[in-house]
Structure 1
Amino acid sequence: MNVGLVTTPWMLFGMYMISGLGMTGIGMGVMHDALHGSYSNKNSINKWIGYSINLIGANAAVWKIQHNVLHHTYTNIEGADDDINMPFFLRFSPNTKYHSVHKFQHIYVWFFYGFLTLIWVTVKDFVRIPRYKKMGFFTEKHEAKKQLFKTVLLKVMYYSYSLIIPLIVVPLAPWLIIVAFLAMHFMTGLFISIVFQTAHVMPSSDFPMPDEEGMIHDDWSVHQLATTSNYAPNSRLFSWFIGGLNYQVEHHLLPNVCHIHYKKLSVIVSDTAEKYGIPYHTKRTFVAAILDHFRMMRSLGVKTVTA
């Protein structure tokens, strides 16, 4: 962003919104594949491209545990999938304890979605590093401390170029710059949250619970089909922009395959699912998926929806 050319509020907000689109594109279209090891068939390229998440203020090592390990292995399992482990005022699973405030969550959840990336680049990594260490990750000596130190540097770097430098250089009121920065994150956080939550928190989604021995009895691939949903399979532009994440079923079954192959793979997966009588969930449009997610959040706000 050439801050020296930003002289009006409209230019300021426009540049921050463009930056938000860039952050969204990096996160879903580039970084996501790279950290799954599917951007390239060369590990070194995946490693360095995956570091793009560090440039936008997050920690790649923490993301890989949260997403690659916990979310992809334990999809929609209460207490194990970090994507549905939410603060008490949000209920993403029928197995989550009910609170009376949940009756309004289908209204206010969209507001909190907007804070996803801001929380991510501010505090989330600091919370998860010690938590993941207790869970058995970061086992090498001083690894957790190294990740904490690295995270501090990443946050300083990100806030320096995205907020501090504009505050110093841009000839506009500081409050305008801060509001534009927050608006960028709100737009990005809202969009990314909706893209991911419409894939799993849906009326068609299963939320299985392990037995007394901690086992889920479905086959892993069947579990992924039961807990995941596609949407907008015919929208090539939309699919390109979100890195093929509208084909979440194929992504969960084959996370190490680049997203450019998902559309063709979806034909094979859907035909195979039909052959063996396994559900294959998909919505025709993204809007239809959002409406179903809204209905699901409303139904989870009803006390009778319990495990």
Structure 2
Amino acid sequence: MQHKTVRFSKTNQAEFIADLRKQVKAYFETNNISTYGNWKMVLKTIFMFALYFVPYLLMLTGVITNIWVVLLMWALMGLGKSGIGLSVMHDANHGAYSKNRHVNKYLSYVMNMIGANSYIWKIQHNVLHHTFTNIDGMDEDIDPGKLMRLSPHAPKLKAHKHQHIYGWFLYGMMTFLWLTTKDFKQLVRYKKMGLMKSQKRSFGGVLTEAIISKVLYYAYALVLPLIFIQAPWYIILIGFFIMHFITGLALGMIFQPAHVMPTSEYPIPDDTGSVENNWAVHQLFTTTNFAPNSKLFSWFVGGLNYQIEHHLFPNICHVHYKKISKIVQAKATEYGLPYNCQKTFMAAVYQHGRMLKQLGRGDQFAV
């Protein structure tokens, strides 16, 4: 992936985001509501941590010894790990969890606690994905390597025609890449791209942090269970795999249907690096919401089914997305802009599967 300069239009419907921000700001001021998290966010944080650590402690202390129940506990840990990533770490890394920057900073390190690296993820997600959504060569979320083709501008291989079948398995393996090579490869790449210059961190410092955090993660998540859980070693390894597979699959099925969809556009900057739309309008053409009426689902996935609102207002905590979504949709309609939304989660997954199949076959798209 090459780092290049991409410039969004400053004039093409630029009044849309100014008008929208004004109305969203008025909503919070009129209702005297903070844009950050509230007591509901705190309760959710406690629940997600409990969902991850309670099964772990029940196994480690010998309260649960039945092999099948042990595997169930690992599965629950996978859901807890997913919930922590989607509902806690994500908001903290965007600075949206709390108005206290120290709270955001320390909760963002939860990423390190579950096997990845907060600093490296911020560059990939906050800087590259949120700024250059669906722009080939810039957005790493649509550049998973040669095994999958998530952009119509990416090279097509013969194996890709089956990616709508095997792609789900690769999503499940996502967190294993975090545990092994991904963070280190990204860190080297980001240094070469000059993306670390604006950050007050050194390459050596981040590298050391990544190594230490991974060693500590393996120590508590795998070594201690192998020593203390009263089950055969292979059951522990199977459980560890189940936990990570559930987490990876959950993350893939939430993030990818938000952008790799039949309705998504993949703009190509011109020779000067310019993109036709301004940044906010660009987000509407490249992003999709889903399951807006499912309260429980939205609660668990950290409001990321409102991906449009998240991309337009990443510094607003997800507990507010449902309310401001009505403002965003109305304003998009007023300006004649798209507001892509799938009624259910399964409809979004189905459409994403369709898109994987189309991309794998090399179908033509409006880009």
TM over 0.5: yes
Q: Which among 8, 25, 40 is matched to residue 98 of structure 2?
A: 40
Determine the C-alpha separation between the residues in 2 that align with 1:239 and 1:146: 36
Which residue matches 1:10?
A: 68
Which residue matches 1:162?
A: 221
> Map of 1:1-307 to 2, 5 A cutoff?
1-2=56-57, 3-5=60-62, 6-139=64-197, 143-305=202-364
Calculate percent identity across the aligned residue pairs: 50
Determine the C-alpha separation between the residues in 2 that align with 1:258 and 1:286: 21
Query: Displacement, 1:141?
Result: 9.3
Residues 56 and 121 of structure 1 are in contact (CA less than 8 Å); yes or no, is this contact kept in structure 2? no
Residues 92 and 104 of structure 2 are in contact (CA less than 8 Å); yes or no, is this contact kept in structure 1? yes
Q: Deviations over 1:189-246 (max 9, x none)?
A: 1011010001000000001111111111211111000000000001111111010000
Amino acid across the alignment from 1:200: H
Q: Any gaps of 5 or more consecutive residues in structure 1?
A: none
Residues 136 and 153 of structure 2 are in contact (CA less than 8 Å); yes or no, is this contact kept in structure 1? yes
Determine the C-alpha separation between the residues in 2 that align with 1:18 and 1:303: 38
Q: Any gaps of 5 or more consecutive residues in structure 2?
A: 1-55
Query: Displacement, 1:137?
Result: 2.2
Query: Displacement, 1:142?
Result: 7.9
Determine the C-alpha separation between the residues in 1 that align with 2:200 and 2:322: 43
Query: Displacement, 1:292?
Result: 0.3
Residues 288 and 307 of structure 2 are in contact (CA less than 8 Å); yes or no, is this contact kept in structure 1? yes
Query: Displacement, 1:32?
Result: 0.3
Amino acid across the alignment from 1:219: N
Which residue matches 2:41?
A: none
Residues 202 and 293 of structure 1 are in contact (CA less than 8 Å); yes or no, is this contact kept in structure 2? yes
Determine the C-alpha separation between the residues in 1 that align with 2:195 and 2:331: 36
Q: Where does structure 1 differ by over 2 angstroms across 4 or more consecutive aligned residues?
A: 137-142, 303-307
SS at match of 2:326: helix
Amino acid across the alignment from 2:130: H
Q: Deviations over 1:151-175 (max 9, x none)?
A: 0101011111111111111222211
Amino acid across the alignment from 1:72: H
Change (3 A) 1:141 1:284: closer
Residues 81 and 247 of structure 2 are in contact (CA less than 8 Å); yes or no, is this contact kept in structure 1? yes
Residues 117 and 210 of structure 2 are in contact (CA less than 8 Å); yes or no, is this contact kept in structure 1? yes
Determine the C-alpha separation between the residues in 1 that align with 2:156 and 2:76: 39
Query: Displacement, 1:88?
Result: 1.0
Determine the C-alpha separation between the residues in 1 that align with 2:97 and 2:284: 23
Residues 152 and 362 of structure 2 are in contact (CA less than 8 Å); yes or no, is this contact kept in structure 1? no
Amino acid across the alignment from 2:326: V
Determine the C-alpha separation between the residues in 2 that align with 1:295 and 1:173: 41
SS at match of 1:204: coil
Q: Deviations over 1:59-116 (max 9, x none)?
A: 1110110000000000001010010112112000101111111111111101101001
